[in-house]
Structure 1
Amino acid sequence: MARPNQTCIDACNRCFQECQDCASNCCMQDGSMAQCARLCLDCATLCATCVTLMSRGSQFSANACRVCAELCDACAAECEKYPDRDPCRRCAEACRRCADECRKVAA
C-alpha cells in the first residue's frame, strides 16, 4: 500500500536530485549563474524537508509544501533563463512538476 502523498514525495525527491545537479553545474560557470545555483540549493533543501515531513505524516506538511511550491516556481523561472543548458532544463521541469504536486498537498 502506497503511503499518503507518495506522488508528491517522489516529485520532491526528483526535484531534490535535479536541483543538486543543476547547482553543481552552475557553480562550474564563471559566476554568472550564482542566482541559479542559490535557488537550486534552497529548493533542494526545502524539497528534502518536505519529503521528511510527509514521510512521517507531520501536521506541518501542507505548510511546508505551500512554501516549497513557491520556491520551486522561482527556481524553475530562473533555470528557464538557460534553456540551452541540460541541467537547467531538467531542473526546471522537475521544479514545475514538484510545484504542482506540492500545491495538491497544500490544498
Structure 2
Amino acid sequence: MKNYHDYQSCIEACLKCAALCNHCASECLTEDDIKMMAKCIQNDMECAAVCYAAAQLMSLGSDKAKDFCKLCAEMCERCYQECSQHDMKHCQECAEACKKCAELCNQMAA
C-alpha cells in the first residue's frame, strides 16, 4: 500500500494548488467586474476542493487516491485554462500551480 512518503511531492503540489486557488478566488471577488470573473471563481473553488480531497486520500494511502488524482488533474487543467486567460497576478500564480499539480497528478494516476 502506498502512503504519504510515496505521494509526498503530489500531496505538496495539491496543497499549494488549493491554497493558490483559494487566494485567486478571493482576489477575483475584489475585481471591479466580478461577473466577468465568475467562471474563474467557480473553477478556483472546485479545483481547491478536489485538490484538498486528493491530498487527503493520498496521505491516507487510500486505494481511491489514483482515481482522485485523475479527477484532480482534469480539474486543475480546467482551472489552468481559465486562469491563464487573465492578466492578474493572482490568476497567473494560480494557473502555474494548477499546471504543476495537473502534471504530478497525471503521473500519480498513471
Specify the alignment match of 1:26 in structure 2.
Answer: 28
Amino acid at match of 1:102: C
Map residues 75-86 of structure 1 onto 2, 5 A cutoff.
75-82=79-86, 84-86=87-89
Amino acid at match of 1:77: Q
Q: Tell me, which stretches of 5 or more residues in structure 1 are unaligned?
A: none
Q: How much is the aligned-residue C-alpha RMSD, in angstroms? A: 0.9
Number of residue-to-residue matches in the alignment: 105
Q: CA deviation at 1:27?
A: 1.5
Deviation per residue, 1:27-77 (Å, 9 max, x gap):
122221000000000000000000100000000000000011011000000
Specify the alignment match of 2:11 in structure 1.
Answer: 9
Specify the alignment match of 1:98 in structure 2.
Answer: 101
1:81 match: secondary structure: coil
TM-score (ref. length: structure 1): 0.95
Higher helix share: 2
TM-score (ref. length: structure 2): 0.93
Specify the alignment match of 1:54 in structure 2.
Answer: 58
Q: CA deviation at 1:4?
A: 1.1
Distance 1:70 1:28 in 2: 27
* Aligned: 1:89 with 2:105: no
Identity rate, percent = 41
